[in-house]
């Protein structure tokens, strides 16, 4: 009976958060106290101890640091400089967006799609580049780099493996999703972008100053919960409601600039200002410290952010608004509830049931498809937070490669964020310069369907199978 109630509560909170604008973290905290305290008899103090403080600090520090980079124009400087390099080559702009997305996400920007889509989608219309190709190249670049050690997703996954006492390899968990997303980018380019290679050069004059005015868009957190669009007629506003929060963000076909206090003065100064140099040095220090010296990402990002804030306290006072508080709530709530399920034996019960199936490799494939389908309609990071603990007994049995399986699962859970039901996909949809937005949305759904069908089996065949033999 205990296991049944625990599982029923898990299914209920996932379903409610998917169908309503309630943050899944709130429901998970409530379930942790009810199932943990009243049903399982776990002491309240013990439930409080389940709170994942290290992961919460990592999310706050990472999003704060890149919020500072946005506010002082460092991110705009990097984007503008990169665009100057490919002027006149349409195919190169498409690939630049993939690598820009990957680069920004690697450095910790959860708003990378929101920064690039308002720039890239108008370019696609003006220079006759397939808008789906442009949007998906951005998305695959960003989603591919989602598990950099200094991103929300990377900190979450690496933190869970560490807390569970399981082996970890941050580089592999970063490189595998990036490589698989690169394959999808190559595939969609070959299908929809081959003509760009034979069309010759065009005089593409990109106004870098206008880029800095439009790079900021409606705040778009990582999937937790996701953004759901209401189909807007052509030329009308596309409204996106975020079931992870109680707010509604409205965007139009072209993103509206949002210049916050303190940002105006920074953007008036072009080039490498002392503040921008300090920000770049801070980001590089975070990357080197985490990758080379295994320093705690959350602590490092918080210290670096504090130093940068002290250098320009008045200009950067609004940077804290960029912290993804909805993601903090979702992650901390889900991990707390999953710790309750681990304490009352539910995780072992479900994990042993999965591990007892006749073929561990078949079980791994089923789980990859399960997370892809669940994440397509729900929260990616929430799905990962559910599946990884449930798969722990299967991993500990040693019948499949641990790191390979984890890499495949996190890839399958995030690549489906190309959907217009996700925060990434809706930013592409909202900024697409197309005559029929509903038709474009249907095309996005169709492409998402292909991704859901192909991505799990691809990850299983290329990653899980070779590491398990």
pLDDT score of 254: 33
- Max mean pLDDT among 27-41, 49-63, 384-398 falls in 27-41
For 240, 310, 311, 401, 442, the CA distances from 307, given in Å and listed in that order, are 35, 5, 6, 41, 46
**CA–CA–CA angle 268, 269, 275 (5° rounding):** 125
Res. 57: pLDDT tops 60? yes
Of 250 and 351, the one with more pLDDT? 351
**Into how many domains does the chain fold?**
1
Structure pTM?
0.77
C-alpha to C-alpha distance for 12 and 40, rounded to whole angstroms = 18
Considering only 233-247, 333-347, 433-447, which range has the smallest mean pLDDT? 233-247
Phi, psi of 294 (to 5 degrees): 55, 35
Average pLDDT rounded to a whole number, residues 80-86: 78
If one counts every other C-beta atom within 10 angstroms of the C-beta of residue 268, the result is: 9
C-alpha to C-alpha distance for 136 and 197, rounded to whole angstroms = 18
Mean pLDDT for the chain?
A: 81
Q: Model confidence over 306-316: pLDDT tens digits?
A: 999 999 998 88
Considering only 137-141, 223-227, 244-248, 365-369, which range has the smallest mean pLDDT? 244-248
Alpha helix stretches (DSSP H) within 127-221: 131-144, 152-163, 170-192, 208-214
pLDDT score of 88: 61
pLDDT score of 343: 92
Strands 238-241 vs 248-251: parallel, antiparallel or unpaired? antiparallel
Average pLDDT rounded to a whole number, residues 111-116: 84
Q: Model confidence over 30-54: pLDDT tens digits?
A: 999 999 999 999 999 999 999 988 8
| pLDDT tier at 397, thresholds 50, 70, 90 | confident
Asked if residue 322 lies in contact with residue 70, where contact means CB atoms within 8 angstroms, the answer is yes
| pLDDT tier at 234, thresholds 50, 70, 90 | very low
Res. 250: pLDDT tops 50? no
Structural tokens at position 264: 């105006």
Q: Model confidence over 141-164: pLDDT tens digits?
A: 999 999 998 888 998 899 889 888
pLDDT score of 241: 36
Q: Which domain holds residue 279?
A: 2-243+252-468
C-alpha to C-alpha distance for 378 and 384, rounded to whole angstroms = 11
- Looking up tokens 């029923």 gives 8
If one counts every other C-beta atom within 10 angstroms of the C-beta of residue 166, the result is: 15
| pLDDT tier at 14, thresholds 50, 70, 90 | confident
Res. 289: pLDDT tops 50? yes
For 37, 349, 390, the CA distances from 41, given in Å and listed in that order, are 5, 18, 21
Considering only 183-197, 248-262, 318-332, 447-461, which range has the smallest mean pLDDT? 248-262
- Max mean pLDDT among 261-270, 390-399, 433-442 falls in 433-442
| pLDDT tier at 270, thresholds 50, 70, 90 | low
Average pLDDT rounded to a whole number, residues 407-433: 91
pLDDT score of 199: 58
Considering only 332-346, 404-418, 440-454, which range has the smallest mean pLDDT? 332-346
Considering only 4-8, 153-157, 187-191, 212-216, which range has the smallest mean pLDDT? 212-216
Q: Model confidence over 115-138: pLDDT tens digits?
A: 888 888 988 888 889 999 999 999
Query: Among 55, 111, 66, which residue's Cα sits nearest to residue 330?
Result: 55
């Amino acid at each position: 009976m205990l296991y049944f109630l625990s599982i029923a509560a898990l299914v209920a909170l996932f379903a409610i958060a998917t169908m309503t604008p309630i943050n899944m973290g709130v429901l998970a905290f409530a379930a942790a106290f009810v199932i943990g305290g009243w049903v399982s008899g776990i002491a309240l103090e013990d439930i409080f101890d389940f709170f994942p403080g290290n992961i919460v600090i990592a999310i706050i520090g990472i999003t704060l640091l890149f919020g500072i980079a946005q506010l002082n124009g460092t991110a705009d400087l990097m984007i503008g400089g990169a665009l100057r390099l490919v002027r006149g080559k349409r195919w190169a702009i498409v690939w630049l967006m993939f690598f820009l997305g990957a680069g920004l996400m690697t450095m910790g920007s959860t708003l990378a799609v929101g920064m690039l889509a308002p720039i890239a989608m108008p370019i696609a219309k003006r220079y006759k580049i397939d808008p789906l190709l442009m949007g998906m190249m951005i998305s695959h670049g960003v989603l591919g780099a989602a598990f950099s050690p200094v991103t929300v997703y990377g900190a979450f996954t690496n933190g869970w493996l560490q807390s569970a006492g399981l082996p970890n390899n941050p580089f592999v968990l970063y490189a595998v999703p990036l490589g698989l997303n690169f394959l999808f980018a190559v595939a969609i380019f070959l299908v929809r972008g081959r003509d760009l290679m034979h069309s010759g050069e065009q005089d593409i004059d990109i106004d870098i100053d206008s880029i800095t005015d439009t790079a900021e868009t409606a705040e778009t957190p990582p999937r937790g919960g996701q953004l759901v669009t209401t189909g807007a007629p052509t030329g009308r506003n596309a409204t996106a409601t975020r079931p992870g929060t109680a707010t509604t963000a409205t965007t139009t076909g072209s993103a509206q600039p949002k210049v916050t206090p303190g940002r105006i003065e920074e953007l008036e100064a072009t080039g490498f200002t002392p503040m921008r140099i300090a920000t770049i040095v801070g980001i590089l220090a975070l990357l080197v410290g985490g990758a080379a010296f295994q320093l705690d990402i959350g602590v490092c990002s918080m210290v670096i952010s504090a130093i940068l804030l002290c250098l320009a306290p008045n200009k950067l006072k609004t940077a804290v608004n960029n912290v993804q508080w909805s993601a903090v709530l979702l992650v901390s709530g889900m991990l707390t509830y999953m710790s309750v399920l681990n304490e009352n034996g539910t995780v072992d019960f479900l994990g042993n049931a999965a591990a007892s199936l006749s073929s561990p490799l078949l079980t791994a494939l089923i789980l990859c498809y399960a997370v892809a389908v669940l994440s397509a309609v729900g929260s990616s990071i929430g799905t990962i937070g559910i599946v990884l603990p449930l798969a722990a007994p299967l991993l500990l049995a040693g019948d499949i490669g641990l790191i390979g399986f984890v890499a495949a699962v996190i890839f399958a859970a995030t690549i489906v964020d190309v959907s217009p039901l996700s925060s990434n996909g809706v930013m592409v949809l909202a900024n697409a310069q197309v005559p029929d937005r509903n038709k474009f949305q249907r095309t996005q759904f169709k492409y998402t369907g292909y991704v859901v069908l192909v991505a799990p089996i691809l990850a299983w065949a290329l990653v899980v199978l070779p590491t398990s033999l």
